[in-house]
A = this chain, B = another copy of it.
Amino acid sequence: MTSLTSIKNIGFIGLGIMGQSMAGHLLAAGYQVNLYNRTKSKTDSLVAKGAKWFDTPGEVAAHSNMIITMVGFPSDVEEVYFGEKGIIASANNAILVDMTTSSPSLARKIAVQAAKKGLASLDAPVSGGDIGARDAKLTIMVGGDKAVFDHVLPILQKLGTSIILQGDVGMGQHTKMCNQIVIASTIMGVAEGLSYAKKVGLDPAVVLQSIGGGAASGFQLNVLGARMIVGDYAPGFYVEHFIKDLKIAVEEAEQMQLNLPGLLLAKSLFEKMADRGLQRNGTQGIFQIYLD
């Protein structure tokens, strides 16, 4: 295992909306931040503030004591870690932290390959979205070795407010799956309740006033339900990313022989959205499926 040397240089790979905010917090905290992103222009404002651009994930890795990845799909994770110019090939005495929501089995594969080079790794997916990233209030669900977790905790605390070690490698991803499984059926229920309201001739906004404070209340009803009612399907969280997460959850549940019919049903409805070309809507767009 890597020796836990003081972290001064942090690599950050994947500068989407969330990644840009997160890397910005690390820069502001005084770390040297090294960047790589598929689309270089998304790193311009961070480079202007002092971050360093590198041409490959491997070069970022070679110059960093800790490398954070925050990319889109498991295939992207595979590429930045295991590609020819990837992280594993070039990192040296660094801690690898994948904050992408990805599969627990891929987290274990990273850990195994990293260990062969004497590198430590953590899986640390987040929830909280754009706003949580911007306000440094993410929930970070971590899997891996406790000593490694403790070592990087001060850095993760620049990004989030709820940072919990859930178990060994992969358990961060599994915890994120629990989160997504709860959300899948919940947003389906919200869409069903509000579509019933609309169809029967109630004013869904007034219904929300009645039901939004009781046993049905929660983020999905009160925040995303309110967006359904006004037809605002702009993405807080993309349907295509949610489908990716639900596929992972379904595969993992099947491997455990755990039957989750609500998850399967919700996944099929989101896939129906994608079939209609609605995969770049936010998840609240599931309401559209019920309005036919």
Which residues 160-215 in A have Cβ within 8 Å of B in the complex?
Answer: 162, 164, 166-167, 171, 174-175, 177-179, 181-186, 188-190, 192-197, 199-203, 206-207, 209-211, 213-215
**What's the least CB distance linking A253 to chain B, in Å?**
6
Chain A 248-289, CB-CB to B under 8 Å as 1, else 0, gives 010011001011111101100100000000000000000000
Is A218 among interface residues, defined by CB-CB distance under 8 A? yes
Check A213–B139 contact: CB distance below 8 A. Answer: yes
Q: Which residues of B contact A259 (CB under 8 A)?
A: 290
Interchain CB contact under 8 A, B128 and A258: no
Q: Please give me the residue from chain B that is nearest to A200 by CB atom.
A: B174
Contact A211 B185 (CB under 8 A): no
CB of A217 closer than 8 Å to a CB of B: yes
CB distance A189 to B182 under 8 Å?
Answer: yes
Cβ B199 vs Cβ A192 within 8 A: no
Q: How far is the CA of A133 from the CA of B178 in the complex (A)?
A: 33
Q: Mark A217-259, 1 if CB is under 8 A from B, else 0.
A: 1111100000000000000010000000000010011001011
Asked if A90 is at the interface (CB within 8 A of a chain B CB), the reply is: no
Pick the contact of A189 from B132, B184, B194, B207 — CB < 8 Å? Answer: B184
Instruction: Select A166's contact among B175, B207, B216, B269, beta carbons within 8 Å.
Output: B207
Within 8 A of B (CB), among A40-55: none
- State the Cβ distance, A185 to closest chain B Cβ, in Å: 3
Q: Is A215 within 8 A of B171, CB to CB?
A: no
Structural contact, A178 and B193, CB atoms closer than 8 A: yes
Q: Of B166, B201, B211, which contacts A210 at CB under 8 A?
A: B166
Q: Are A262 and B209 in contact (CB under 8 A)?
A: no
Whether B129 contacts A179 by the Cβ 8 Å rule is no
Please list the 10 inter-chain residue pairs (A to B) with the smallest Cβ-Cβ separation, ordered nearest first: A218-B218, A185-B189, A182-B193, A182-B216, A181-B193, A179-B211, A127-B214, A178-B193, A188-B262, A186-B186
Given contacts A141-B211, A182-B221, A195-B260, 10 further A-B contacts (CB under 8 A): A139-B214, A166-B210, A175-B197, A178-B196, A178-B207, A185-B185, A192-B263, A196-B253, A217-B219, A262-B262
